[in-house]
Amino acid sequence: MRQQIVAGNWKMNKSLEEGLELVKGVLDRLEQRPRGPVVFATPYPYLQSVAKMLKVRKGFHVAAQNCHHEEKGAFTGEVSVDMLASVGTEYVLIGHSERRQYFKETNEQLARKINLALAKGLLPIFCCGEPLAIRERGTHVGYVAKQLKASLFHLHEADFRKIVIAYEPIWAIGTGRTASTEQAQEMHAAIRVLVAKKYGKGVADDTSILYGGSCNAQNAPELFRQPDVDGGLIGGASLKAEDFVAIVNAMK
């Protein structure tokens, strides 16, 4: 079911003590239940501790930043979906642009991660988006369409309905460039059209599509007012409680 969601991706930041203090700061500032799910995507070692903190508050959830594409085996240093589920993880980021860029994750691997996450009861937040060269050539919709088709469109409708999509304009993440509200809305609408062509308008209308391009406390209200923007996948602004709370409060 379509809903507004704000997910904070801490990436490789914060000690455990700092992370727990951040979560406490967010919870203390949000006295009422948020309008939609609030998700903390923490580093692996903190998942269980954060999950325990969030058990007492409805509307708050914990996510892993990644998972392995095999169920188990001799993969030193990797973490399986079973491991994530066993410590209380509810969501998992799959296909983040940094994973694609630095770890050369392929669309085929991401499809396998999606399948495993769904099989084990985790809710995937699937990231997609184009680099600057693709945007400048004007082929960004086709580029993102290939990502969706290769990693998601094999799913049956019932499983696809469990997917949250996060659009990341890679060229607007940590580069000093910013995507306009109009550019964000345009791309979200295009993604919804792609989903509608595959699964029908009803499924497309029910799919939450988050914006992940340098969303912050200042631009979140305008972004979240757009008809096809259903919240945000937040990076740097999720590391300060007051900033993250301002973004959460921007949910319509």
> Which region among 68-77, 170-179, 242-251 has the lowest average model confidence (pLDDT)?
170-179
The whole domain housing 178 covers 5-249
For residues 245 and 30, the answer to whether their CB atoms sit within 8 Å is yes
**Exposed, middle or buried, 242 (CB in 10 Å: 0-12/13-18/19+)?**
exposed
Q: Using a CB cutoff of 8 Å and minimum separation of 24, what contacts does 73-77 make?
A: none
Round to whole Å and give the CA distance between 173 and 177: 8
Evaluate if residue 179 carries a pLDDT over 90. Answer: no
Model confidence over 26-84: pLDDT tens digits?
999 998 899 999 999 999 999 999 999 999 899 999 999 999 999 999 999 999 999 99
Round to whole Å and give the CA distance between 67 and 92: 7
Query: Helix 107-119 to helix 140-151 angle, to the nearest 10 degrees?
Result: 50
Evaluate if residue 206 carries a pLDDT over 90. Answer: yes
Mean pLDDT of 123-146: 96
Q: Does pTM surpass 0.75?
A: yes
Q: The tokens of 128 are what?
A: 């997609």
Q: What are the Cα distances from residue 206, in Å, to 104, 228, 238?
A: 31, 11, 26
Q: Which residues are catalytic?
A: 96, 168
Greatest CA separation for the chain = 49
What's at 149, amino acid-wise? K
CATH of the domain at 234: 3.20.20.70
Residues recorded for the chain: 252
Model confidence over 189-203: pLDDT tens digits?
999 999 999 999 999
HSE (side-chain half, CA atoms, 13 Å) at 172: 20
Round to whole Å and give the CA distance between 53 and 66: 21
Evaluate if residue 176 carries a pLDDT over 70. Answer: no
Measured at the CA of 229, the angle between CA 227 and CA 234, to 5 degrees, comes to 160
Q: How many domains does the chain have?
A: 1
Round to whole Å and give the CA distance between 48 and 188: 33
